[in-house]
């Protein structure tokens, strides 16, 4: 029996939100083939001999949800998200890596009905990352001499640029980083039974300098993402 678009077993889907997060990975894929699934453009091919799928989701949780579903439909058997985030935990600095243990949507709020923040229909709006894939991502980032933190990542459809808001999210969800896609990926993967992991390079600290810091850091991100993905694949 074969799977989806690639016709193979054990296909890792690689995903980022912005072109800059996936550009170098896309360039490194051999025998690339473009397919469109659920309106999402997906590249399939080989990366260092491993069958992979690659997609750029676009920014935000809805785009990330649709792209995750498309990658699953295309035959992904696991999914790895690489990108940038704002650091909100103590001691987290620009250039560090955060590998998610679990992810939650910080803008899910039906607390007025007695539910905990981030919980909807009695379930955490997010999910728990696969430990094996996360270990491999953390090892890959360490091999690039990055300081690696492991903890909760909080996602919402907002670019956080306020120390007060960042501190509130950090405290409410025990979060280390904020971004705009990860918990959506986590929730969809959990619903679909797809193991996943999320690595975020810290581009800013979600404060008043975030926009400038983000703009400078994203210039470096393409090569970092490719390097960490290659490290991950080398362990498989
Ligand atoms: N420059 C882009 C918008 C980037 S939004 C444009 O003009 O279209 C920020 C992206 O980086 C999102 O994909 C998000 O996941 C991540 N990110 C980095 N720092 C963040 C922060 N402080 N708050 C929220 N998301 C952040």
In this prediction, residue 5 carries a pLDDT of 45
pLDDT (tens digit per residue) in 39-67: 999 999 999 999 999 999 999 999 999 99
> Hunting for tokens 């997010």 — which residue is that?
126
With a 6 A CB cut-off, is 214 part of the ligand 1 pocket? yes
With a 6 A CB cut-off, is 178 part of the ligand 1 pocket? yes
With a 6 A CB cut-off, is 210 part of the ligand 1 pocket? yes
pLDDT (tens digit per residue) in 123-139: 999 999 999 999 999 99
Query: Is there a catalytic annotation at residue 21?
Result: yes
> Can you tell me the distance from the alpha carbon of 64 to that of 32, in angstroms, rounded to the nearest whole number?
22
| CA distance to 163, 212, 214, 222, per residue, from 209 (Å) | 10, 6, 8, 22
Catalytic residue among 130, 181, 204, 225: 204
> Can you tell me the distance from the alpha carbon of 183 to that of 187, in angstroms, rounded to the nearest whole number?
6
In this prediction, residue 2 carries a pLDDT of 38
Whose alpha carbon is nearest atom 3 of ligand 1? 59
Residues with pLDDT less than 50, the chain = 1-8
Nearest-atom number in ligand 1 for the CA of 158 is 24
> Hunting for tokens 């904020």 — which residue is that?
178
With a 6 A CB cut-off, is 183 part of the ligand 1 pocket? no
């Amino acid at each position: 029996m074969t799977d989806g678009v690639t016709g193979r077993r054990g296909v890792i889907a690689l995903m980022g939100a912005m072109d800059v997060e996936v550009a170098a990975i896309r360039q490194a894929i051999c025998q690339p083939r473009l397919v469109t699934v659920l309106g999402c453009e997906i590249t399939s091919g080989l990366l260092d001999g491993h069958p992979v799928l690659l997609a750029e989701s676009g920014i935000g949780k809805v785009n990330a949800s649709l792209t995750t579903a498309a990658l699953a439909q295309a035959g992904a058997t696991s999914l790895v998200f690489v990108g940038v985030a704002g650091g909100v935990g103590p001691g987290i600095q620009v250039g560090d890596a955060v590998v998610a243990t679990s992810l939650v949507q910080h803008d899910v709020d039906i607390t007025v009905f007695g539910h905990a923040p981030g919980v909807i229909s009695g379930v955490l709006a997010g999910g728990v990352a696969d430990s094996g894939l996360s270990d491999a991502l953390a090892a890959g980032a360490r091999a690039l001499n990055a300081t690696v933190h492991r903890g909760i990542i909080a996602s919402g459809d907002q670019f956080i640029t306020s120390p007060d808001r960042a501190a509130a999210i950090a405290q409410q969800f025990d979060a280390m980083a904020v971004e705009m896609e990860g918990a959506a990926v986590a929730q969809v993967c959990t619903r679909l039974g797809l193991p996943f992991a999320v690595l975020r390079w810290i581009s800013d600290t979600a404060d008043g300098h975030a926009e400038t810091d983000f703009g400078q850091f994203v210039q470096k991100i393409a090569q970092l993402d490719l390097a960490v993905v290659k490290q991950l694949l080398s362990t498989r």
